[in-house]
Chain A
């Protein structure tokens, strides 16, 4: 059953289109990550769904209820949509209990028990209920903000770059805890982020935005391995782009014959490979290349390879396990795992 349906959402600020006919359907209980470079319109989309801003055109429908129809919108405070801002936006004049209880009805029975449940839900110590927000760490603030939004049992939860203000070390643990909490609560969630790693690990549906348009939506695995264009590919990770000739089955390029879905195309094309598709060996198979540079990263290495064929130089980077790595300057055989992706003629 579909819960949230966005269709044809557009919004302009002066001459720039922040949203350009964005349509997206979000299933009940799923976690959607919206990624895109800054200025791609992802935060605007979130604000329109939350009701902080009105679209110029398009509709927002949640559970069959129309929340926005062009510039006519339902007020944010009646939408039952939770929102967690970048820095948590905790009320500095209230303690943690006051923040958690802000959205509860004043005559809510068992208020104390509810607060206790909420603080347990986000894995914080109940002793923190009497603390002021400035006495909490960044990660604790974010978890309180999440619990505060969950207190109202929202039909939909929106997270606006919720981890970007945290230190790298803290980020991962807070993200895991938030994902756990959301899964436990079973609430449909949309998260906006510019961190591809965060998006890929958080989401069961990924939406990529660029220049106000939704360019691709699908399962993270699908979008990572089969991006619609090179920009999307690079947004989610590194990529190697090579010239190739389309054959009857697959393609051929400097790396030899590779598997690929050609979709009936012929002639020349550009193909994309992820750096982790390469295998290096001292015995073959595959064409030979020279190791020009090794960037050691712990478990993995980024290896820059130089391949000379018919007098033309090709340089590309492979991500390979760092154990048993050949020496700098040595010649290795390069093979490719899996299929190459054919890029669009213009891509």
Chain B
């Protein structure tokens, strides 16, 4: 038998991945670096003068009021809907669960377009709060319903056998277990309220984000816009800190082994049909109103509104950006995803939080950071496709990372070892085992990123090269000219592009509970 060659293992893959993930993390730190840089550059005096203004106080009050008027009702509605669809015998529960998630397919600024064009005098805080609840409720409903389904009924039985009344069981056993889901979903909604531009601009409700973009578009007033961005980032940090405090540090894991039995559904009795009113009312507001408005404008516009040459061009541009953004974001997140599954350590956890934090940053901050950096350091890159794609990558990196991690986790190292012990060399193992198993997860991650790009408005408005027309920016331009009929087909196309994502998110939420 010929002697086998002996080699030292150099762990080249691991080192390369660490290097690449480090590079991606550095890029992801750019917006944070930008905030720090402008804070130092502007100086204490000027910063204070720019921030300590009645206008900023007004914006802060608006933002705070918006959070207070939106979050509590959204949380209550999410709890009620989750209980009805997961734990009661309401007829058609699984269909109504889909119906509750479906508004995710309607971009927030399309939702507010639907309301404003139906009720032209619909403005201010009540309007903002109503549309926000309708647009963002699914972000709370999904995790709460998932957790509600996962609750171990044995805990409730145990509480009952310890002499607790049904009402006290809900209070002392069920609600505490939903705390993490409520906090997580609430944080997501709260951050969206801070970051959203289109929704609030359309119904003329001023928030930090709308103010920053107004400032930027009217005067290119760098320091003023940058300072507002700084306050916005602080607000986000405050929200995250608040969530961290409310979430507490307890673990709510199930103790003991084995899968929990599915919880029994509560009989509603004569309330069975009246209970339908809640999900149906919300669906008619969140889905019915957009459907009504869109079909009205489509009929008013007739065939002509579909035959605009710009529509096809915008669709093509959007698809191009979506594909580029998806490829770039997945490529950027791949090394980190690999490391966090295959080589978890303190260092990789730090790198991972560098990858994840931009998800909490408003798009406008990422965009401002890239504007400032390109204008000052790399002017040839200002308003180029590359910069827009970089913005998409930064904003959607966390989304790509989550999907990729799930994909790579489908290929535990034991399977690669099994392939090696069966005589496959590393390259053939990659082709025969790793790729076929990880592909669905990678594809899902790409789809989620692509669909995020397809309806992105804020960063695209600020960063895209002059004359770039995506579905979102073209829709925005048309509604700004009050040409609601011409805008309708763009809205329809964006909704169609978002539908698969909605289905994917709903399916993922279901799957995690079955796992």
Binding site for B on A (CB under 8 A): 50-52, 54, 63, 65-69, 71-83, 85-87, 89-93, 102-103, 145, 148-149, 151-152
Cβ–Cβ contact A103 & B423, under 8 A:
yes
Known: A72-B7, A74-B6. A89 touches B1 (CB 8 A): no
For A67, give its contact among B4, B412, B423 (CB under 8 Å): B4
Once A92-B437, A93-B436, A93-B437 are accepted as A-B contacts, the answer to whether A83 and B418 lie under 8 Å apart by CB is yes
Complex: how many Å from CA A92 to CA B414?
Answer: 12
Say whether A51 contacts B420, CB under 8 Å.
yes
Cross-chain contact B8 with A72 (CB below 8 angstroms):
yes
Question: A63 contacts which chain B residues (CB < 8 A)?
Answer: 1
Provide the residues of chain A in CB contact with B422, threshold 8 Å. Answer: 77, 102-103, 148-149, 151-152
Q: How far is the CA of A65 from the CA of B2 in the complex (A)?
A: 8
Give CA–CA (A149, B421) in the complex, Å.
Answer: 8
Chain B positions within 8 Å of A71 at CB level: 8-9
Residues on B with C-beta less than 8 A from A89 are 412, 414-415, 417-418
B-chain residues with CB within 8 Å of residue A72 when the two chains form the complex: 6-8
**Given A71-B8, A73-B6: A91 in contact with B420 (beta carbons within 8 A):** no
CA distance A66 to B421 in the complex (A): 17
Residues of chain B within 8 A (CB-CB) of A92 are: 410, 437
Complex contact B420–A52 (CB within 8 A)? yes
Which A residue's beta carbon lies closest to that of B11? A54
Q: How far is the CA of A90 from the CA of B426 in the complex (A)?
A: 18
A149 to B414, CA, bound (A): 14
Contact with A along B29-45 (1 / 0, CB 8 A): 00000000000000000
The answer to whether B3 has its CB under 8 Å from any CB of chain A is: yes
* Known contacts A71-B9, A91-B433, A93-B437; A83/B4 CB under 8 A: no
* B429 partner residues in chain A, CB cutoff 8 A: 77
The answer to whether B506 has its CB under 8 Å from any CB of chain A is no
Specify which chain A residues have a CB less than 8 angstroms from the CB of B414 in the assembled complex: 85-87, 89
Chain B: CB-nearest residue to A64: B1
With A65-B3, A93-B436, A93-B437 known as contacts, the answer to whether A75 contacts B417 (CB < 8 A) is: no
Expressed in whole angstroms, the Cα–Cα distance for A83 and B420 within the complex equals: 9
Name the interface residues of B192-221: CB closer than 8 Å to any CB of A.
Answer: none
**A72 vs B422: C-alpha distance when bound (angstroms):** 21
How many angstroms between the C-alpha atoms of A60 and B100 in the bound complex?
62
For B, the interface residue count at a CB cutoff of 8 angstroms equals 27
* Most chain B CB atoms below 10 A, which of A69, A74, A87: A74
Q: Hey, which chain A residues are within 8 Å of B426, CB to CB?
A: 77
**Residue B5 interfacial (CB < 8 Å):** yes
Complex contacts, B4 vs chain A, CB 8 Å: 65-67, 74-75, 78-79
Given the complex, which residues of B lie within 8 Å of A66, measured CB to CB?
3-4, 6
Cross-chain contact A77 with B5 (CB below 8 angstroms): no
Closest A residue to B439 using CB positions: A93
For the complex, what is the distance from the CA of A103 to the CA of B432, rounded to whole Å? 11
Minimum CB–CB distance from B194 to chain A (whole Å) comes to 42
Shortest distance in angstroms between A1's beta carbon and chain B's nearest beta carbon? 15
User: With A51-B420, A76-B420 known to touch, is A91 a contact of B415 (CB < 8 Å)?
Assistant: yes
Q: Which residues of B contact A86 (CB under 8 A)?
A: 414
Closest chain B residue, CB of each to CB of A80: B423
Residues in B with CB closer than 8 Å to A103 are 422-424
List chain B residues, Cβ under 8 A from A69: 6
Residues of the B chain whose Cβ atoms lie less than 8 Å from the Cβ of A80: 423
Residues on A with C-beta less than 8 A from B6 are 66-69, 72-74
**In the assembled complex, B308 has its CB within 8 A of some CB on chain A:** no
Given contacts A54-B9, A68-B6, contact A75 B418 (CB under 8 A): no
CA distance A152 to B422 in the complex (A): 7
Q: At the interface, yes or no: B99 with Cβ under 8 Å from chain A?
A: no
- Whether, in the assembled complex, B425 has its beta carbon less than 8 Å from a beta carbon of chain A, the answer is yes
Considering only residues 409-468 of chain B, those with a C-beta below 8 Å from chain A are 410, 412, 414-415, 417-426, 429, 432-433, 436-437
Could you show 26 A-B contacts with beta carbons less than 8 Å apart?
A65-B1, A65-B3, A65-B4, A67-B4, A72-B7, A73-B6, A73-B7, A73-B9, A75-B4, A76-B421, A77-B419, A77-B420, A77-B422, A77-B426, A85-B414, A85-B418, A86-B414, A89-B414, A89-B418, A91-B433, A93-B436, A102-B424, A103-B422, A103-B423, A148-B418, A149-B422
Q: In whole angstroms, how far apart are the Cα atoms of A276 and B438 in the complex?
A: 54
* Smallest beta-carbon distance B15→chain A, Å: 16
| A68, B4: Cα distance in complex, Å | 10
Taking CB atoms, residues of chain A closer than 8 Å to B7 are 72-75
| Besides A66-B4, A71-B9, 10 new A-B residue pairs in contact (Cβ under 8 A), listed by A number | A50-B421, A66-B6, A68-B6, A72-B6, A73-B7, A74-B4, A77-B429, A92-B410, A93-B436, A103-B423
Cα distance, A63 to B415, chains bound together (Å): 27
Give Cα A280–Cα B234 distance, bound, in whole angstroms: 79
Which A-chain residue is minimally distant from B418 (CB atoms)? Answer: A89
| A-contact 0/1 string along B9-24, CB 8 Å cutoff | 1000000000000000
A90–B437 alpha-carbon span in the complex (Å): 12
With beta carbons under 8 angstroms apart, the residue of A54, A90, A149, A151 that contacts B8 is: A54
Which of A69, A76, A82, A149 has the most CB atoms of chain B within a 10 A radius of its CB?
A76
A274 to B426, CA, bound (A): 50
User: A93 CA to B415 CA in the complex, in Å?
Assistant: 11
With the chains together, A145 CA to B415 CA distance in Å? 11
Chain A residue nearest in CB terms to B410? A92
- Identify the closest chain B residue to A50 (Cβ): B421
Residue of A nearest to B3 (CB): A65
* B100-146, CB < 8 A from A: none
Q: Chain B contacts of A90 at CB under 8 A?
A: 418
Give the chain A neighbours of B5 by CB distance below 8 A.
74
Question: Are the C-beta atoms of A82 and B421 separated by less than 8 Å?
Answer: yes
Minimum Cβ distance to chain B for residue A216 (Å) = 28
Which residues of A are found within 8 Å of B437, using beta-carbon distances?
Answer: 91-93
For A74, list chain B residues within 8 Å (CB).
4-7
- Nearest Cβ distance between residue A262 and chain B, in whole angstroms? 49
CB distance from A70 to the nearest CB of B (A): 9
Residue of B nearest to A92 (CB): B437
List the A side residues contacting B418 at CB < 8 Å.
83, 85, 89-91, 145, 148
Q: Which B residues touch A51, using CB under 8 A? A: 420
Closest 5 A/B residue pairs (Cβ): A103-B422, A83-B421, A74-B4, A72-B6, A76-B420
The distance in angstroms between the C-alpha atoms of A74 and B420, with both chains bound, is 12
CB distance from A185 to the nearest CB of B (A): 16
Q: Is the CB of B425 within 8 A of A75?
A: yes
CB-CB nearest in chain A for B7 = A72
Max chain A CB contacts within 10 Å: which of B417, B418, B432, B437?
Answer: B418
Q: What chain B residues lie within 8 Å of A54 (beta carbons)?
A: 8-9
Tell me the nearest residue of chain B to A74, going by C-beta. Answer: B4
Closest residue of chain B to A151 (Cβ to Cβ) is: B422
